[in-house]
Amino acid sequence: MNPLDSLVASIERFDRLDGVSAALAGVVGKAVQPRVVRNVLSGTLIGHPVHPLLTDLPIGAWSMAALLDTLGGETMKPAADLLVAVGIAAAVPTAAAGLNDWSDTQGKPRRVGLVHAAANSAALGLYAASGVARSKGSRGLGKTLGLAGFGILMVGGFLGGHLSYANGVNVNRTANRTGPAKWTPVLDDAELPDGGHRKVEAGKVSVLLYRSGSRILAVDSVCSHMGGPLEQGEIDGGCVVCPWHGSTFRLKDGSVVRGPATRPQPRYETRLNEGRIEVRRTPG
C-alpha cells in the first residue's frame, strides 16, 4: 500500500471524528433545508453535481498563481496576485456546495470528507493570508504562504478524488441499471390498489409502481442520489420522496423536484395485459 492510500485508510478508521462530523452535518443539513438552497448547491438545476465543477476554479487559479510565483518575472506579479484573489472568491461557493454534498455521507466517506474540508479550509486561510501579505508589499511572505496553501490544497484534492472515485460519493446510482426492453409482467393487477405503491422485480432491476386512478406509473426504485429505497418513501402530489435524504422525483417522468439528487429516475412504460401489470424501459 502506498503512503497516500495508507493515509486515507487511517482516516477512514479514525472514528473519533464521528462526533464532530455528526454535529457539523446537522448544522449544514438545517442550513440547506430550503428547496431552493438544496437545489442550487446540489446542482439539481443543471442536472450534474455542482461541487466538482466549481473545484476547477480555485484549483486552476491557485495552480497558475503558484506557477507564476515560481517561474514568472516582475511583469507576472499583478497576474499572480489577481489569480490568488480569484481563487479565494471561487473557494467560498465551492466550499458551500461541498459541505452540502458531504452532509449526506456516513461512515468512512464522512470521515474522509471532514479531513478533505479541513485541508481545503486551511488552504483557503493560507491564501487569504497570502493575499493580505501581497497587498502590504510583503511579497516573499505572500509567495511562501501561497505555496504552502497550494501544497495543502493538493492533499485536499487527493482526498476529494478518493471520495468520488473510490467511495462513489454523489455518483448516479442508476447509471448502470437497465431494465427490460420488452414488455415484462411484474405484478397481478389486483395487487396494486388505487393510491397504492409496490416494489417489483423487472428483469435485473427493481421498479417502483404507483397507481393513480386508471394510470400506473413506474420509475426505478433505487434513488439516483445515494441508492435510497424509494418504495419506503412518502408519495405525495404525484411525487415520491426518498427516505434517506429527501430527494423528490415526479412519478410521471422521473424528473427531480428537489435535491440533493441531480439525475432523474429512469422511467418505465406500463400496460395491463390479461390481468397482469407489465413494464418496459422507456425507449431512447
Q: Where along the chain do its domains lie?
A: 3-165, 184-281
Closest CA to 111 of 40, 190, 16: 16
Q: What is the CATH number of domain 184-281?
A: 2.102.10.10
**What percentage of the chain exceeds 90 in pLDDT?**
96
C-alpha cell at 152: 495543502
Predicted local confidence at residue 91, as pLDDT: 98
CA distance 32 to 40: 10
Longest dimension (CA), the chain: 83
- State the CB neighbour count (10 A cutoff) for residue 186: 23
pTM of the predicted structure, to 2 decimals: 0.91
**Which residues does the chain have with pLDDT short of 70?**
1, 284
Predicted local confidence at residue 284, as pLDDT: 63
Cis peptide before 260 (omega within 30 of 0): yes
List Cα–Cα distances, 127 to 86, 88, 106, 250, in angstroms: 11, 7, 30, 44
Radius of gyration, alpha carbons of the chain: 24
CB 59 within 8 A of CB 157: yes
Closest CA to 229 of 220, 217, 218, 216: 220
C-alpha cell at 123: 488552504
CB 249 within 8 A of CB 238: no
DSSP 8-state symbol, 219: E
**Residue 197 bridge partners (DSSP):** 210
Q: Which helix (H) or strand (E) holds 185?
A: strand 184-188
> What phi and psi, each to the nearest 5 degrees, are found at residue 239?
-125, 155
In terms of Cβ atoms closer than 10 Å to its own Cβ (0-12, 13-18, 19+), residue 41 is buried
CA distance 27 to 13: 24
